[in-house]
Amino acid sequence: MNSQKKILVLSPFFYPEPISTGKFNTDFVVSLQKKGHNVTVLCFHPFYPDWSIKKSQKTLKGIEIVRGGKNLFFTKKTLIRRLILEISFAFFILRNLKKHQLNKDIIIPVFPPSFAYFVILPFIKKSIKKVGMVHDLQEVYANQKKGVINRLVNTFIHKVENKCYNNCDKLIFLSNEMKSVAKKLYNLEESKLEIQYPFVTMGKIVTNNLNSILSKDKINIVYSGALGEKQNPFKLLEFFDTSSRKIKNSKYHIFSQGSFFEKLKDNNTNSNIKFHNLVKRECLEELYAKSTVQIIPQKEHTSKGSLPSKLPNLLASNCKILVITDPNSEIEHLFLDNKLKAVSTSWDLSELVKKLEEIIDTKVDFNHQNKIANSLFTLDEMIRKILH
């Protein structure tokens, strides 16, 4: 049997998207190509995290990138722009599927979004193996919202995700919590479910461009990355505000973009809290190295919905971490079982300040942290599970 596979990846998020799923998908596809596989990606022009299309002609050697959505316009209302994304991507995939599924061995839909895969299911050739990769369970987040409209949306999400997941030959979940919840929600067969944590994507090159922002003379507390509802942004700002008044010589930095980022910036009155656009990808290692503590926040009751994709990179860097998550969550057990620091299972401000003070004063074994990162978060293992 020929070990080289012809693979079609479906996701609106791809290179040169700077963060989150776009960065994940890019590193994943590049690795597939380097291993000798032929990969085509159906994606949109970059628009995340500020939901504004930026037309791109950028290419990656050996990878066929087919882009759409160049004329899309997203509103500021979360529900409406999500519907625009789901429907427009579904039409884009439907138009391009016939041509680009020819001679393919594997099709990999990356969820979410899910509606595109839902729509094209009747048109996918039976000979193609379907391997879904689940980054987030949208139903977990939808369940947190109240009201008639949100209940209707939740019903729609359940129907779509149920059909999508049950019509994959294999599903890769980025956490055990996601797998367990999805299996129960959608009555999935255990035999086709796999778990693989997101992988380390850190390089070795460290730039020297952030000295004016992250001073060595300050305690730099940093949140960096996508900023949406699941990061509990307004509570995060409140935490930073409270901590800055209690921890001497501390500075607080939020590196992000998008509507929540702008709202926080407008609401902020504390001069010790600074807002910055996302750093360039080549500066991520420097950002982590010069952060005293990086914060990974999860909104209450959402830990089952996803595992933060930047966690592996933070563990692989010489950076202290404070995770805010649900009690008994997978990420809490991961930290406790592997003797990692530090986790708070409460958004109580006094508890959070106490935890932050503890991790600032704690001497962290970065060699141990790095070892755990490289043992649990491996790209090669993810590729193996998808291909075999």
CATH number for the domain spanning 275: value is: 3.40.50.2000
Has residue 251 been placed in a domain?
yes
Last residue of a domain, one of 163, 195, 227: 195
Euclidean distance between CA atoms 70 and 94, whole angstroms: 16
Domain that holds residue 77: 6-195
Both 139 and 224 in a single domain? no
Rounded distance between C-alpha atoms, residue 134 and residue 316, angstroms: 23
For residues 66, 9, 112, 333, the Cα torsion angle rounded to the nearest 10 degrees is -140
pLDDT greater than 50 at residue 1: no
- For the chain, the maximum distance between any two Cα atoms, rounded to a whole number of angstroms, is 64
Label residue 138 by pLDDT band (50, 70, 90): confident
**Residue 18: pLDDT over 80:** no
Note whether residue 226 is domain-resident: yes
On whether both 359 and 226 belong to a single domain, the answer is: yes
CA distance 303 to 312: 16
**Residue 243 sits in the same domain as residue 332:** yes
Q: What is the pLDDT of residues 200-234, one digit of tens each?
A: 877 666 788 999 999 999 999 999 998 988 999 99
The beta strand positions in the chain, using DSSP E, are 6-10, 38-44, 63-68, 106-111, 129-134, 170-173, 193-195, 219-224, 250-255, 273-276, 293-297, 320-324, 343-344
Domain-located, residue 96: yes
Enumerate long-range contacts of 360-363, CB under 8 Å, 24 or more apart. Answer: 360/219, 360/247, 360/292, 360/293, 360/320, 362/320
pLDDT band at 16 (very low <50, low <70, confident <90, very high): very high
Residue 365 phi, psi dihedral angles, 5° rounding: -85, 95
The helix (H) or strand (E) run that includes residue 352 is helix 349-361
Distance, CA of 242 to CA of 29 (rounded, Å): 42
387 part of a folded domain: no
Determine contact, residues 293/317, Cβ cutoff 8 Å. Answer: no
In a domain, 200, yes or no: no
What is residue 269's DSSP assignment?
-
137 in Cβ contact with 305 (< 8 Å): yes
Q: List strands edge to edge, sheet with 193-195.
A: 63-68, 38-44, 6-10, 106-111, 129-134, 170-173, 193-195
Strand pairing of 193-195 and 219-224? Answer: unpaired
Number of domains the chain is built from: 2
2: confidence class by pLDDT, cuts 50, 70, 90:
low
Query: Is there a single domain that holds both residue 36 and residue 122?
Result: yes
The answer to whether residues 278 and 155 belong to one domain is no
CA distances in angstroms from 16 to 29, 46, 268, 286, 372, listed in the order given: 13, 7, 30, 20, 29
Same domain, 151 and 291: no
Is this model's pTM higher than 0.85 or not?
yes
| DSSP conformation letters of 212-256 | TTS-TTSEEEEEES--SGGG-HHHHHHHHHHHHHHSTTEEEEEE-
Q: Is the distance from CB of 281 to CB of 24 less than 8 angstroms?
A: no
Interval 256-280: pLDDT, tens: 988 899 999 999 999 999 999 998 8
| Beta strands across the sheet bearing 293-297 | 273-276, 250-255, 219-224, 293-297, 320-324, 343-344
